[in-house]
Each structure stands twice: as C-alpha cells, then as structure tokens.
C-alpha cells in the first residue's frame, strides 16, 4: 500500500464551482442571462481550440455565457479586443495564446481592459502581486485580481492544508520550504512571489539558474526579496529539495521527469505543466500528489470574472 494519496483537481475545484454557481444566481438581478465571457482564438493550435471547448463547457454548466470569437487574420485581433473592451454586454475577455508567439503577445495581453481581464494578466495585477498589495483602492473595498494559474496553485495548497490558518494572516506559509520548477512570467515567477509573500522560503528553478525568494529572517520584510543561488545544476537542485515540503513543477516538455529521488519523503508534489512532470514513482515518496491543476485554474478564471463584475458594480 502507498503511504500517501493522489488528489485530483476536480475534487479540489468542487467547492469553488459550487461557489461560482451560487454567485451567478445572486447576480441574476443585474445579469438575468448570466455573465458573458468572450474568448479570442487567432491561432490554429488544436490544444488552444480544445481549451476553448473545455472553457465553454465549464461556463455553460455553471450558468455563465461563453462566446468564442475566432479570427482568421490575427492582425485584426487587437481591434477586436478594443471593441470588446468598449462593449458593456461583455463581462470578461480572454485570449488563447500563443498568437504571434513573440513579444507582441505580451502587448496583446495588455490590450485587454483590466476591468475585464479574467486571467489576471494585466500589469496592475502583477504589480500588486509582486508588491503584496491586496486591494485596488485605498478604501480596501475592491480586491485585486490574481493570475489564475498561480492562484490555482495557492488554492490547491490551501486545500492540502499546507497553508496553516493558525498562523497570522499573510504568514500562513511561515516555516515552509517550496521548490518551483518554472520561472515564466505567466506562472512560475508570480507563483514563487505569492508563496514567499505568504511566508514561505521558495527555491525558484529555471533552466538557467536557481533563486531564493523570501521575506527575510523572521519575515521582517513586507514583501519578498530575491537572492541568486547560482547556475542551474543537479547538485544545487538536489540540495534545495533536501528539506522541501512542497515541490511544484511546470516544465513544458514531454520527456522531462523530476527526479523522484530528490523528493523528501512525505513532501507534497504538484504538477501544473500540461505534461506529466512526475513519474508514477513519486507516489511512493509524496504524502500528497496533485498530477494536474487545469480544473482548478478554470475555476479561478471564472471566480476572477465574478469578482470583476462585482468590482464594476461597486464602482457604479
């Protein structure tokens, strides 16, 4: 018998989908037909199309309207986004990336109005995350939005009780050591910052080097600081993993497997990559193992959308 448990994203997302359904009902007086999410698809990528179909299905099962707008010519995407920003009947906008697969994609991302940015990719939201700012206004009535994949990982860690609610607010990860294998601007870097802002010591690993994100000794800083530990090497990774309570992977590579022997016995392992970054042998060492996170991410995306609707209504 295996000593630990595998926990599926569908189990973790359930309370959130129930919360979304309830909120959609509460919003009936102002959104009688349900809030409207528009997805823009301007590439031929079958994975993006599949993600769009899946988003649609989830939305519709929860009472949210979803409209996929497919563009044959990606050069018209910017104008289509700006038009959707102006359209009051649209509550949320998302783009299926890659579109140009270069820096222009980051520009397109910033074209989405922050009031409709369900993925939480607007610069303002990232800056709030990095600076540990939780609200959009001085009165602290409008909660900031978080990028949905890093937020999903946080919610997973809460579910797994890695977050300790007995600790003061904002310090729930005090004493925890985490390794995050991915430092992309979309997921890995904001995730490492979020965990460190909540009190963890985070080893952020990418293909080039390893960095340490912390709020300093005794959590003396209000937000995380970053220290370079050195170039990437197997030895350095192994050392960082020795005491790691949590290992999170997001390597976009089919052949990559995180070395099971680096996992401390009883550690928690989470993979957000679309590829299986852990070998099945991880189940022999991990106490809790979450092999995929997509279902929680989509719940966070829809949760973000309802928060945006509430924020917009509060401003009226």
CB of 201 to ligand NAD, least distance (A): 19
Q: Which is nearer to ligand NAD, 144 or 293 (CB)?
A: 293
The whole-angstrom separation of Cα 231 and Cα 252 is 20
- Asked if 285 and 194 touch (Cβ cutoff 8 Å), the reply is no
* DSSP string for residues in 240-280: HHTT-SEEEE----TT--B-GGGSPTT-EEEE-SSS--B-G
N- to C-terminal Cα distance for the chain?
57
Q: Can 241 be counted among the known catalytic residues?
A: no
Q: How far is the CB of 229 from ligand NAD (least distance, A)?
A: 14
Q: How far is the CB of 11 from ligand NAD (least distance, A)?
A: 16
Q: Which is nearer to ligand NAD, 135 or 232 (CB)?
A: 232
Candidate list 59, 148, 240, 269, residue with the active-site label:
148
Bridge partners, 299 (sequence order): none
Please, what sign has the CA dihedral across residues 257, 187, 157, 235?
A: positive
Half-sphere exposure of 18 (CA within 13 A, CB side): 6
Instruction: Evaluate whether 175 touches 199 at the Cβ level (below 8 Å).
Output: yes
Tell me which residues touch ligand NAD (CB under 6 A): 149, 152, 181-184, 186-188, 205-207, 250-253, 256, 272-275, 293-294, 297
User: CB-wise, 133 or 292, nearer to ligand NAD?
Assistant: 292
Shortest Å, Cβ 312 to ligand NAD: 25
Residue among 219 and 241 whose Cβ is closer to ligand NAD? 241
Which one, of 113, 100, 278, lies nearest residue 179 by Cα? Answer: 278
**Which residue numbers are catalytic?**
148
């Amino acid at each position: 018998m295996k000593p630990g448990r595998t926990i599926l994203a569908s189990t973790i997302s359930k309370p959130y989908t129930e919360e979304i359904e309830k909120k959609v009902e509460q919003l009936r007086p102002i959104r009688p037909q349900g809030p409207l999410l528009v997805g823009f698809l301007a590439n031929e990528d079958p994975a993006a199309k599949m993600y769009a179909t899946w988003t649609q299905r989830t939305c519709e099962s929860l009472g949210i309207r979803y409209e996929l707008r497919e563009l044959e010519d990606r050069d018209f995407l910017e104008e289509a986004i700006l038009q959707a920003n102006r359209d009051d009947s649209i509550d949320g906008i998302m783009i299926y990336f890659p579109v140009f697969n270069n820096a222009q994609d980051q520009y397109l991302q910033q074209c989405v109005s922050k009031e409709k940015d369900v993925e939480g990719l607007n610069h303002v939201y990232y800056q709030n995350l990095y600076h540990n700012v939780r609200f959009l206004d001085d009165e602290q009535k409008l909660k900031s939005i978080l990028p949905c994949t890093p937020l999903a990982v946080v919610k997973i860690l809460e579910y797994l009780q890695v977050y300790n609610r007995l600790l003061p607010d904002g310090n729930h990860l005090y004493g925890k050591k985490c390794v995050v294998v991915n430092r992309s601007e979309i997921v890995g870097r904001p995730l490492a910052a979020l965990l460190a802002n909540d009190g963890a010591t985070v080893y952020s690993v990418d293909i080039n080097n390893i960095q340490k994100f912390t709020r300093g000794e005794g959590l003396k800083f209000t937000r995380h600081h970053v220290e370079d530990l050195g170039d990437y090497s197997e030895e350095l990774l192994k050392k960082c993993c020795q005491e790691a309570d949590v290992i999170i992977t997001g390597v976009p590579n089919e052949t990559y497997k995180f070395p099971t022997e680096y996992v401390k016995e009883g550690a928690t392992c989470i993979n957000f990559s679309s590829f299986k970054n852990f070998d099945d042998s991880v189940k022999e060492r991990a106490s809790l193992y979450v092999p995929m996170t997509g279902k929680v991410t989509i719940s966070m995306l829809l949760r973000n959308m309802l928060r945006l609707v509430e924020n917009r209504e509060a401003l009226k």
